[in-house]
Amino acid sequence: MKNLVIRSGSLRMGGLERVLIEMLQNLDRKKYNISLIIEDNSGEENVFLDQVPKGIDIYFLKSEELIANTHYHRERKKNLYNKLMYNYLMGKEHRIVVSKTCEVLQAIKEKHGDIDVFLDYDWGARRYVEKLDAKKKIVWIHNSIPKLLKKESKIKRFGKNLNKYDVVVAICDDMKKEIQEIYPYLKDKVERVYNPFNFKRILELSENYSALTDEQKLFIKEDYIVAVSRLDTIQKDYDTLLKGYKLAIEKGLKEKLFIIGDGPDRKKIEELIKENSLEEKVKLMGRTTNPYVWMKNSKLFVHSSNYEGFGLVIVEAAILGKAIISSDCKVGPKEILGNGKYGKVFPVGDFNSFSKILLNILSDSSEKEKFERAALLRAEDFRADKIMREYETIIGL
């Protein structure tokens, strides 16, 4: 049995965290002894903690108190004192994380023997990975690097950090190509592995109404289209989504728009809804651990982003046999949808195109059914059992 250590940032609600859990639940425990290092102990926000398989040792690096203290000063950075305290605490956090990671790895080594693979699942160890004792070091990339980092200096420095790993894993072909183009010296280190999906769990949850309130049980019976994403106006481009939807309403669209999710820009999105006079048509449904029941009962699935790491919800909508409309942003959505073969795509920010596609699919049942069938076909490429064989190849054990 090989000794595998997986490190990630948190067990809070998020797409990366969901994929982490999916991986942990599907790794062959007969082949690997698995230890999990999580940087943030988020207390009650560790929503995925109970889903970590039993028998996996979990090590948290940062305390709730330290995280809360840093957050307090970050929120008040306009004040010079708070800015200085925030910078001090960020440095303190880094020192704690590095020292505790080394201590945890030593404890794991004493308990289970040499560490065969250190898998950095959210690239958070990139600045100190060279200090860690492991035979093989792998890093997973979940986002478009230039879209996320933006500044040339940061992008350049990031590449030097990635070069410390033995393998760099991109989660789609577009991302792999992007990394190889930005960092030619990493070309032979980059591999592509899609995220794994548990079809059985998604399908079962799509039929589970138990968490719905009485009011929600009435809402779910209405005719609606659905978007599922973090309420983030910079990445998720709600301006385009709402403008395109409003234009479709003006041209006769009857379906409501339900948005599932929560995030830092909820108030901004509420303002956008008011600006577009859509209070009676658009409903923010909030965060839920089961978006699938809403997706299953929708007329179709819509997704508007300026950029993506992959687009987990697009695959989940495909598993549920939904017709899908998405922006063709980098990276992920266009690749998942086969550039229009498995779902319709529109240029980023083009609300006119989005509106036309939306009206066309909802007014043409044969077109809608064609893309529902196509989505189910594409979803097969993301079954967990298939993807986990690729994981094992990458891990190389």
347-377 pLDDT, tens digit each = 999 999 999 999 999 999 999 999 999 999 9
Same domain, 74 and 205: no
Q: What is the structure's pLDDT at 90?
A: 94
The model's pLDDT over 302-345, given as tens digits with 9 standing for 90+, comes to: 999 988 878 899 999 999 999 999 999 888 899 999 999 999 99
Residue 288 pLDDT level (bands cut at 50, 70, 90): confident
The model's pLDDT over 2-49, given as tens digits with 9 standing for 90+, comes to: 999 999 999 998 889 989 999 999 999 999 999 999 999 999 889 899
Q: What is the structure's pLDDT at 305?
A: 92
Same domain, 188 and 211: no
Q: How far is CA 66 from CA 39, 119, 315, in A?
A: 12, 25, 36
- Domains identified in the chain, total number: 2
Q: What is the structure's pLDDT at 237?
A: 93
Same domain, 153 and 218: no
Q: Is pLDDT of 174 > 70?
A: yes
Same domain, 156 and 283: no
Q: Is pLDDT of 397 > 70?
A: no
Q: What is the structure's pLDDT at 331?
A: 82
Q: What is the structure's pLDDT at 264?
A: 86
Q: Which are the contacts of 381, defined by CB distance < 8 A and separation ≥ 6?
A: 194
Same domain, 226 and 185: no
What's the token pair of residue 236? 């998720």
Q: What is the structure's pLDDT at 263?
A: 86
Query: Measuring CA to CA, which residue among 330, 345, 346 is closest to residue 375?
Result: 345
Q: What is the structure's pLDDT at 52?
A: 96
Q: What is the structure's pLDDT at 330?
A: 80
* Phi, psi of 378, deg, nearest 5: -65, -35
Q: What is the structure's pLDDT at 283?
A: 96
Q: Give the number of C-alpha atoms closer than 13 A to the C-alpha of residue 28, restricted to the C-beta side.
A: 14
* pTM of the full structure: 0.86
314 close to 296: Cβ distance less than 8 angstroms? no
Percentage of residues of the chain with pLDDT beyond 70: 100
The model's pLDDT over 89-146, given as tens digits with 9 standing for 90+, comes to: 999 999 999 999 999 999 999 999 999 999 999 999 999 999 999 999 999 999 889 8
Same domain, 263 and 163: no
Same domain, 184 and 63: yes
Same domain, 222 and 332: yes
Percentage of residues of the chain with pLDDT beyond 90: 87
Same domain, 151 and 96: yes
Same domain, 187 and 296: no
Domain coverage including residue 180:
2-196+384-395
Q: Is pLDDT of 68 > 80?
A: yes
CATH number of 354's domain = 3.40.50.2000
Q: How far apart are alpha carbons 309 and 331 in whole angstroms?
A: 6
Same domain, 221 and 351: yes
Same domain, 160 and 298: no
Going by DSSP bridges, is the β-strand pair 32-40/190-192 parallel, antiparallel, or unpaired? unpaired
Q: How far apart are alpha carbons 2 and 37 in whole angstroms?
A: 17
Q: What is the structure's pLDDT at 324?
A: 98
Quote the mean pLDDT of the chain.
Answer: 94
